[in-house]
Amino acid sequence: MDEITRMPGRALAASVRARELSAVEVVEAHLRRIEADNPRLNALTVTFADLARAAAADLDRTIAAGEDPGPLAGVPFSVKESIDLTWSATTQGWHGLADAVPSSDATVVRRMREAGAIPIGRGNMSDFGMRWDTDNDLFGRTLNPFDDSRSVYGSSGGDAVAVATGMSAMGLGNDFGGSIRLPASAVGIAGLRPSFGRIPRAAVRDAPVALTLQQFSVNGPLARTVDDLALAFEVLQGEDPADPVSLAVAPFATDAAPRRIGVTRDPLGWGVVDDVRAGVDRAADALTKAGWELVEVDPPLLEEAAVLWRRLACTDMLLSLDPALLPEPLGRSATSFLRDSTAAAQPFATAADYAAAWGRRAVIAAAWRRLHAEVPLILGPVSTRRVPEPDFDLGGQEAADAAWRDLRLVVAVNFLGLPAVTVPAGRDRDGLPVGVQLIAPLHADELALAAARDVESGL
């Protein structure tokens, strides 16, 4: 069981295609791992044992008939509770959607399945993905497999833990304010927040979609290796008629870009713990050995980008999650988070101020584009503190401010729609993973993946 559930997705698919392993064997091994670990960790809210077995048997028959099973043949993957999969309700981690079974799969799920991958379970999350921790009243808390006295971050925490522990080989999450990169960094795996438009999101139907959700949120993969991220990205990317902002973009020519990376160890000089600084240093050393030139940088207008992300996000959350408009209340922790974060963030009170904030986004994006013309990649921390305790983002306005400040480089990426890859960069003093992120220009996702491979192979 351990050997199969630790194999990278690409190796699993190759073994299944070569009939060295059957898809049924692969699924059974992952189901046994789920049975052993999930009752304690609570990473997966639903396990698709019978449906996954049936899908695996169908795939084995496809291979036996000499047909192409796809590049992800037999690879078990988890699907976050916010992404449509017809096998169970898309709850968003909220009681009010406990019975909301979708009529069709999200495009990202369909593309994974068409590539031969098999859904194995649903990944836990916070209510509507609001919090930077994975907990809700519907399913409960997901525990960190390294230390259950530490958070697993959020909101794609269930998928991150499932991948890290071998319950799934890949995970599908989404990232509005670090929700892929943070949990990936907390459990020592890799995560891709793709460029705005590169990977389709939820279909837009009749309900309006908040502007921040349109601009800041993307779907993306989690995996144990950067190579698996790249494989999933190849499968997932591309235009989708149901998503009005999705794009068909030619792969970025990584060989044409200068091999120069800007390093920021303590963004804005607000402080970074030694363990995190050491992780950035280790990643920088690996990149230097791989032939990259490293220079020190201060990302432009970073504080304004992070502040505007926060104020715009909280303004939209107050409007879209107004308790008077919801059929059931939010969970207890989500209610506290929404109250404290919005109070601390100073949401926009007038349409003119809201519009002016979006106008400033273009100015900030232009400044970052000029920097990226000089240094095509930026290396920096995910969080500037070590993996915190559960509920670190609760406890009043002071805690809300501290959480946002520690994640300033994360949320600026969301504000600008840029691609970023999180990759492990060693351990801290207690043996907990430390992650770093590589931030690329818009639609240069392949460049961030290439540099992340060099970090991974150099450590």
* pLDDT tens profile 270-310: 999 999 999 999 999 999 999 999 999 999 999 999 999 99
The question of whether 15 is a catalytic residue gets the answer no
pLDDT tens-digit series, residues 382-439: 999 999 999 999 988 888 899 989 999 999 999 999 999 999 999 999 999 999 999 9
* pLDDT of amino acid 205: 66
Alpha-carbon distance 15 to 73, whole Å?
A: 9
The domains of the chain, with CATH numbers, are 2-236 (3.90.1300.10), 255-458 (3.90.1300.10)
Which of 179, 185, 333, 336 is labelled catalytic?
179
Percent of the chain beyond pLDDT 90? 88
Beta sheet of 218-223, edge-to-edge order: 44-47, 118-123, 76-80, 170-175, 218-223, 190-193, 420-427, 433-439, 377-381, 260-263, 293-296
pLDDT at 131: 93
Q: Which of 299, 219, 223, 306 is nearest to 266 (CA)?
A: 299
Query: Which position among 80, 151, 168, 341 bears the catalytic label?
Result: 80
**Across the chain, what does the average pLDDT equal?**
95
Residue 160 has pLDDT above 60, yes or no: yes
Confidence label for 80 from pLDDT (cuts 50, 70 and 90) = very high
Whether the predicted pLDDT of 194 surpasses 80: yes
Residue 58: per-residue pLDDT: 98
- What's the length of the chain? 459
Q: What is the pLDDT of residue 203?
A: 62
- pLDDT of 207 above 80: no
Q: What is the mean pLDDT of residues 241-246?
A: 90
Q: Is 155 a catalytic residue?
A: yes
For residue 77, give the amino acid letter: F
Query: Is the confidence at residue 204, as pLDDT, over 70?
Result: no
Going by pLDDT thresholds of 50, 70 and 90, the confidence category of residue 1 is low
The pLDDT tens digits of the residues spanning 32-64 come to 999 999 999 999 999 999 999 999 999 999 999
Tell me: the pLDDT tens digits for 309-358? 999 999 999 888 877 778 888 999 998 988 888 777 889 999 999 999 99
pLDDT in tens, 444-454: 999 999 999 99
Residue 116 contacts residue 59 (beta carbons within 8 Å): yes
Neighbours of 322 (CB within 10 A): 9
From 22, 78, 126, 155, active-site residue: 155
Interval 143-155 mean pLDDT? 97
**Mean per-residue pLDDT, 75-101:** 97
